[in-house]
Amino acid sequence: MRLSVAAAVLLSAAAYYVYLPLPPGVCEPWKLMLLDALFRSFMTAGDVLHGLGLVHRVHLLNWLVALVEEVPARSCPALMVSDSSLGGVPVRVFAPRGEERSRRGVLYFHGGGWALGSARMRSYDLLCRQMAEDLDAVVMSVDYGLAPESVFPAQYEDALSAARAFVSVDTREQFGLDPGRLCISGDSAGGNLAAAVAQTLSSDASLPARFSLQALVYPVLQALDFHTSSYQQNQAVPILYRDVMARFWLQYLNASAALEPHVLANAHSSLLDAPTRDKIDWTSLVPAAVRKHYTALPPGGAAAKADPVFLDVRAAPLLADASVLSRTPPAYIMTCEFDVLRDDGLMYARRLREAGVAVTSDHYDDGFHGCMVFANLPMWSQVGRRSMRRYIQWLDQNL
């Protein structure tokens, strides 16, 4: 009897911990709740041990991720898979076997808030394998440096170095890459790096080849407004909470963690000039049907000018001038309804179009942040599978 009562209490406690009220329309909410409960457990453990001075919270999270997710480079009948370097930056290379011929190429940057994750993670390994096989393309997944050891602009510079090497004559000849069929891509923080590098290289006339496409998957593109309609709507929706995104930004920009309440209140950007504010004005750049009833909120706290690092377009590609955007390649931008970063992607798509760039917007009404990398077991998500299939299909049709 006592064991039954104890079991019932434990099950009730577990259910209480796992259960999280989610907005209607989220794909497979119980799977998302379980995933979120796991992430929250890891993050709580990291916060406790960090507070005790035993280990940095990010180091613990990456150790746990590596323990659960990291897989070796395994070749298969269709692909040669190896760990190598590109421009001095570690990469995992997925190269199709078979006859030598000119092939498409994709350079991919993983997500993780510039602090977590790896090209060696099972989820990214499977994604890149799928791309390489379905596209008969050479895919290189980049292991750029991670915070806290690497902070802006180190991750951007790693991404830029890898991209320059990817389009170089040596790499193209080694892997048989078609110089007219190269794509730069990434998800979340990796989408940020892909967008920033695409902007930089589009203005470099010295390159022997250029990226013909950019494919950005729920990218993070600005750190000036944490009250966009998607931040307001989804601030408590897993797996990326509003305050967690602010922490990632502060860590990436090497800013004090004490600024978190300040940036969450938008006090750090309350004195922006009009041209800069126009570039992130979600009330005009995001369609009314998407932003719904949400309106701009006045900044809280003491008004202040944004630190210059928050305005650096290498960190915040959404702030680039139209003249820069106009030179970037045609774009694919995936957004998810239940994602704090939804409006970042929608605003960038709008600004690219206004600059004359062809854009394919791919929006998932039941999607959540990170869904595309949950396209395989054990966390098999229907929207993850659909989004990955559509992403690869677009590449196949356009690259």
Give the active site residues. Answer: 188, 339, 369
- Structure tokens, 393: 């299909």
Asked if 318 and 344 count as a contact pair (C-beta separation under 8 A), the reply is yes
Identify the burial level of 5 via C-beta atoms within 10 angstroms of its C-beta, where 0-12 means exposed, 13-18 middle and 19 or more buried: exposed
CB-side exposure of 222: number of CA atoms within 13 Å? 28
Beta-carbon contacts of 225 under 8 Å, excluding residues fewer than 6 positions away, are: 231, 266, 269, 280, 282
- How many CB atoms sit inside 10 A of residue 311's CB? 18
Handedness of CA 322, 327, 328, 329 (dihedral sign): positive
CA distance 359 to 342: 16
CA distance 99 to 200: 34
**Rg (Cα) of the chain, in Å, rounded?**
21
CA distance 217 to 187: 4
Report the C-alpha dihedral over residues 220, 225, 229, 234, rounded to 10 degrees. Answer: 60
Asked if 185 and 215 count as a contact pair (C-beta separation under 8 A), the reply is yes
CA distance 211 to 202: 8
